Structure 1
Amino acid sequence: MTFEPLFDAPFAIQIHVAAVVPAALLGAYLLLRPKGTPTHRLLGKIWLVLMVVTALSSFFIHQINMFYGFSPIHLLSIYVLFGCWGAIVNARNHNIEAHKRIVRGLYFGGIVGAGIFTVVPGRIMNKVAFSGGEIAPLVVVAGIAVVLFWQLSKEIWRRRRLS
């Protein structure tokens, strides 16, 4: 694993990664912890700011040039921006089910789903994670994914039992 490809990347990519990595970690924390607390609200606001920075910075990244410098991934950025707005509006209007649905969609679509495509061979994060033929980063990412999905499934089943 080496950070050289990231340090050599354009500034927009560096900003993008600097926002999305803490958003991924904070988002997982928020999904697993109790909801509605003052801490949840504060960290949720920070998470939304990180998501907006991630989405906005993506409009300055043109590595995949399919249509005047843009690609289908930029549609995801538009989805994230509207989703962040929707998460705020629904939380303020106490429509918690819609808020939860939107936030989960933002996390699993905007971070997990998009993140999977960043490790495709030839992409910068693939070079960061897999340069030198090391398997350790893949094992770490897979381990985190398994723990996250296991915790979320436990929470889902717990809520179903309470219903």
Structure 2
Amino acid sequence: MARQVPGQLRPAPSWGVTALQVLGAIWTSPNTLIGLLAGMAGMAAGARGRWSGRERALVFRHWPWGPGGAITLGMVILHTGPDLDGLCLTYEHRAGRCEHPRVRLGDHERAHVYQYMVLGPLFLPVYLACGGVSVRNPFERAADRYALQGRGWWP
């Protein structure tokens, strides 16, 4: 089997995978609603939303609040920059635990979309219980692994 390169187009998913993605989208819809409300609030200050099939999410770019970067809420990604193609450091690299190459921000955030689709409304409490936004959080390390290798988005 050929190794998947992050960002590379994949063949169309089977009907079973598509059905699971639809069920995941329904399961995480409460989180997505929170993201939609935040995205629409950002639109009043200049944010612009568009669907990204690559990220499997509605992406609000130029979101006006926060320290920079992106946050995922269900199937919504709020991003302070112009697009998700920018490169960023992994959490482990930033913490000085290892040296990783920079990863595409969109690949990292797509992993969170998948995680939300599995845990649905349980994602935020579980994520926060696992350490929130930090290198200790297995959800963040898994998202970095996915962005590095194109696989392994589950902790």
Q: Same fold (TM over 0.5)?
A: no
Bigger share in strand: 2
TM-score by length of 2: 0.28
Larger radius of gyration: 1
Structure with higher RCO (Cα < 8 A, 6+ apart): 1
Report the TM-score when normalising by structure 1.
Answer: 0.27
Structure with more of its chain in helix, by fraction: 1
